[in-house]
Structure 1
């Protein structure tokens, strides 16, 4: 079964590009352009890798990440940060790298491979298996 990638990206054109690239590479990929949609997607099916735009409106990037890692089975889901701030992954647990525009497709796919390899090693999951409530839409 192909790995599932969730793209959480405000710009629908960028989201569509990433989803298309990942699907062409054989992955199952979906996108959410808003935080609440990303929450619903994770609740419906746990992703294997998340590409997360931290600059979503209303601080949804950090809010989504903070919520996701408390969900059962999601505490160790690797994240690739879509940001202009290189090195930010050092401050975000589960982050395996950062990407910024313009995107290099080879680098993007290499980050997916790295993320899946990290996940396969069995990085410890979050001890909170009760799950936090979804952040409100404000």
Structure 2
């Protein structure tokens, strides 16, 4: 069964781009435009990994991560930060990797594969 990845970013172009890359590599993807939608997606979709933007309207990446930490879910789901704000990319201390936008698709895919396997 294919692993499921939740892509959390308020930029629909980034969501679509990541979804294309990851789907082509054999993963199932779900997208969310902010932290609130991402929390709902976690409950409904049970993803194996999350790619997370830092700055989003409403619930930001760090606020989303705090909610996950309170629920205890942060230890179960690896997070890869992908952000356009390089100074904030380490704002998620439990992230398995951090990438700046624009990112190299092969680098993100390599990290996803090394974290989840195929």
Normalised by the length of structure 2, the TM-score is 0.84
Identify unmatched segments of 5+ residues in structure 2.
none
Distance 1:35 1:87 in 2: 16
Does the 8 A contact of 1:2 with 1:27 survive in 2? yes
Structure number with larger C-alpha Rg: 1
Does the 8 A contact of 1:54 with 1:82 survive in 2? yes
Partner of 1:113: 113
Aligned CA RMSD, in angstroms, stands at: 2.2
Partner of 2:20: 20
Residues matched between the structures, number = 116
Partner of 1:92: 93
**Richer in helix (by share):** 2
Superposition misfits of 4+ residues, deviation over 3 angstroms: 69-74, 86-91
Partner of 2:65: 65
Seen in structure 2, the aligned counterparts of structure 1 residues 67 and 3 have a Cα distance that, compared at 3 Å, is same
Identify unmatched segments of 5+ residues in structure 1.
118-138
CA drift of 1:90 comes to 8.4
Distance 2:15 2:104 in 1: 15
